[in-house]
Amino acid sequence: MTTKRVVADLIVTGCGQLVTLAKSDGTPRVRSALKDLAIIADGALAVAGGRLISVGPRDVVLATTGTSAQTNHVDVGGAVVMPGLVDCHTHTVFADYRLDEYEWRVAGTPYAEIAARGGGIAKSVGHVRAASEAELLSRTRQRVHSAIRHGTTTIEIKSGYGLSLEHELKQLRVVRTLRDELPITVVATFLGAHAIPKEMAADREGYVQAVVHDMIPRVAAEGLAEFNDVFCEVGAFSREETERILRSGQRAGLKARIHADELTDTGGAELAASLGAVSADHLKKTNDNGIDRMAKAGVFGVLLPGTSFGLPSLELAPARKMVDAGMRLAIATDFNPGSSTSESMPMMTSIACSHMRLSPAEALSMATYNPAFVLGREGDVGSLEVGKRADFLVLDCRDYREVANHFGINPVARVFVAGREWVAA
């Protein structure tokens, strides 16, 4: 009996390196598995209804895929084809960059003095509160379009520059609008516990209560976020406050994430492990016990090399130690108006390789396959496997290692989202 072949909407051939990142057991990549990109030479893929229906050597794909007069055939001429990048930690909804603060930082001004001058998170809060929702939407849309041009086809976006019910909801509505209008995957995180707002400086407990009893219930009721995040840091929220806020979110159905151990070792990594958080992010100051606890608990560490690069400081999370410990790891941009002002995931892989001593293969695994698990989208994105969304990139190179090695440029020639080439309107 002849098996009926599924008719493809799109067939892509001429993939000199088809970087699939396929993994038969469907589990996160750790240790040596981070280096296995499951590359197919002279590969091809076929798409129907926005999903991958065949991925493999060219002859196999062509022999097993049906075509019609409407099938679009694309020959990429020996280029690298790889999954769309997954940016699992951003703060993309903001009004303006903190340009004066950047000048102060590179001149050596200490953070405390920058804060005293009105810089830092507080300045971005003022900008967001002064901006209308329409203004925020327009500016954020432009930034997300830029991220897509640089290969990001799945993006997480946090609130956290409102620090009041009204303005946190405003930020999250912007994220929802972009989720509904764009073909890429957009995931929202509530970060009302990013800092204590100025007007509540004398009543931090009052603000914690507002986050727990007013903001979280409203965000959950309106379905505006999937995750609840807290900046657990000296000067922000204590470990005890962080636990209260995250447990409140978990009761409301929001999954827990933590900005942990960025400037000081506050025990954020251990807290993430004990709470069963999805991830702990930053981790520059995490101790060996925190690394061990996270590895055993299966909590993802999200590394943010752009933040160290932009502060400027090349004190980074101990990535090699984390890999050796068997931690689940991802890389993200931390795109924000102050410390990491880049939406380019390829640039993040460059910094991770040069300064965290990751290999190009490890960095790509952490920028595609693993962050899909952080966002709970591993069944849809992060690798090129039959059944997953046809989110893939055609690179302007013939070896995947150029993504990290050829830094400061955009290696992405074409972006396909759900099997259709993305072109900004």
Which pLDDT belongs to residue 118?
84
The CA distance from 240 to 274, in Å, is: 13
Tokens standing for residue 227: 């995750």
pLDDT tens digit sequence for 118-162: 889 999 999 999 999 999 999 999 999 999 999 999 999 999 999
- 215 membership: H or E segment, kind and range: none
- With contact defined as beta carbons under 8 Å apart, do 213 and 245 qualify? no
- What value does the mean pLDDT of the chain take? 96
Which pLDDT belongs to residue 93?
98
Whose structure tokens read 């090349």?
Answer: 314
The β-bridge partners of 330 are: 302
**Alpha-carbon torsion (253, 163, 193, 373), positive or negative:** positive
SS (H, E, C) 100-164: HHHHHHHCCCCHHHHHHCCCCHHHHHHHHHHCCHHHHHHHHHHHHHHHHHCCEEEEEEECCCCCC
Of 343, 323, 413, the C-alpha closest to 82 is 413
Of 225, 169, 173, 163, the C-alpha closest to 200 is 163
Pairing of strands 185-193, 227-232: parallel
- If you ran DSSP here, which 8-state letter would residue 214 be given? I
Which pLDDT belongs to residue 299?
98
The CA distance from 189 to 256, in Å, is: 10
Which pLDDT belongs to residue 358?
98
Assign 309 to helix, strand or coil: helix
Tokens standing for residue 397: 């190179």
**Region 360-370: what's the mean pLDDT?**
98
What is the phi/psi pair of residue 320, to 5°? -65, -40
Tokens standing for residue 96: 């303006």
Q: Residue 21: pLDDT above 60? A: yes
Residue spans of beta strands (DSSP E) within 144-268: 152-158, 185-193, 227-232, 255-260
Which pLDDT belongs to residue 1?
41
Assign 22 to helix, strand or coil: coil
This model's pTM is above 0.85: yes
The CA distance from 150 to 170, in Å, is: 27
Peptide bond preceding 312: is omega within 30 degrees of 0, i.e. cis? yes
pLDDT tens digit sequence for 324-356: 999 999 999 999 999 999 999 999 999 999 999
For the chain, give the percent of residues with pLDDT over 90: 94
Q: Where do the domains of the chain lie, and which CATH numbers do they carry?
A: 10-83+383-421 (2.30.40.10), 86-374 (3.20.20.140)
> Rounded to whole angstroms, what are the CA distances from 340 to 150, 346, 386?
16, 14, 35
Which pLDDT belongs to residue 112?
74
Which pLDDT belongs to residue 51?
98
pLDDT tens digit sequence for 219-261: 999 999 999 999 999 999 999 999 999 999 999 999 999 999 9
pLDDT tens digit sequence for 56-91: 999 999 999 999 999 999 999 999 999 999 999 999
Which pLDDT belongs to residue 3?
60
Pairing of strands 80-83, 10-19: parallel
pLDDT tens digit sequence for 261-314: 999 999 999 999 999 999 999 999 999 999 999 999 999 999 999 999 998 877
- With contact defined as beta carbons under 8 Å apart, do 65 and 46 qualify? yes
pLDDT tens digit sequence for 306-327: 999 998 877 999 999 999 999 9
